[in-house]
């Protein structure tokens, strides 16, 4: 078992023992406990405790710094995605659309394939017009994400 596996296992045990599936840990204390550098702790957090895997990380560095790790349910992720849809403005740039798509993917509500399809539709449809690309892009992105989420919900039933 690698050091990363040991750190991951320890954190998961702590989460399992907590009443609300959330814990606050000190990066320095973890590094000392496992005789490693804090960057090793960062690596484990960045690769093993992602939103895709159902975890939310809040981190504050410095003297009294901590790491808060919480288990996020699928319902929580869907709520977060619905809030994110509401944040899509009336107009968005291509790079903003990419950021939204990455966020939806990170939340686990869009697969890589769905992101590619939506990206292709946005590029194809906005290439067709001379003006109003940002408005069309925002409208399409919002509609396609909502449609995809609704289809996924229906497939679960």
| Mutual angle of helices 74-87 and 133-156, in 10-degree steps | 160
Contact between 149 and 78 under an 8 Å Cβ cutoff? The reply is yes
Domain residue ranges in the chain: 3-71, 74-156
Structure tokens at 57: 């990380």
CATH T-level topology, domain 3-71: Phenylalanyl-tRNA Synthetase; Chain B, domain 1 (3.30.56)
Contact between 107 and 80 under an 8 Å Cβ cutoff? The reply is yes
* CA terminus-to-terminus distance, the chain: 39
User: What does pLDDT average to in each consecutive run of 10 residues of the chain (157 residues)?
Assistant: 93 91 90 92 90 82 77 84 91 94 88 96 92 95 93 71
The predicted structure's pLDDT at residue 53:
79
Report DSSP state, residue 24: E
Burial class (CB in 10 A: 0-12, 13-18, 19+), 157: exposed
pTM of the model: 0.65
Structure tokens at 18: 């907590």
Q: Which residues pair with 66 in a beta bridge?
A: 60
Angle in degrees, CA 44, 47, 48, rounded to 5:
70
The predicted structure's pLDDT at residue 54:
81
The predicted structure's pLDDT at residue 113:
96
């Amino acid at each position: 078992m690698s050091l990363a596996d040991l750190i991951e296992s320890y954190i998961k045990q702590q989460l399992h023992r907590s009443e609300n599936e959330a814990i606050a840990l000190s990066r320095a204390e973890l590094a000392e406990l496992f005789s490693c550098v804090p960057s090793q702790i960062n690596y484990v957090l960045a690769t093993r405790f992602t939103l895709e895997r159902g975890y939310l990380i809040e981190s504050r560095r410095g003297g009294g710094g901590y790491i808060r790790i919480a288990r996020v349910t699928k319902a929580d992720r869907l709520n977060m995605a619905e809030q994110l849809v509401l944040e899509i403005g009336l107009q968005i740039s291509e790079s903003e659309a990419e950021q939204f798509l990455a966020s939806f993917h990170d939340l686990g509500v869009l697969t890589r394939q769905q992101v590619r399809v939506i990206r292709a539709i946005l590029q194809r449809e906005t290439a067709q017009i001379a003006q109003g690309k940002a408005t069309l892009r925002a409208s399409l992105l919002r509609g396609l994400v909502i449609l995809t989420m609704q289809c996924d919900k229906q497939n679960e039933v």
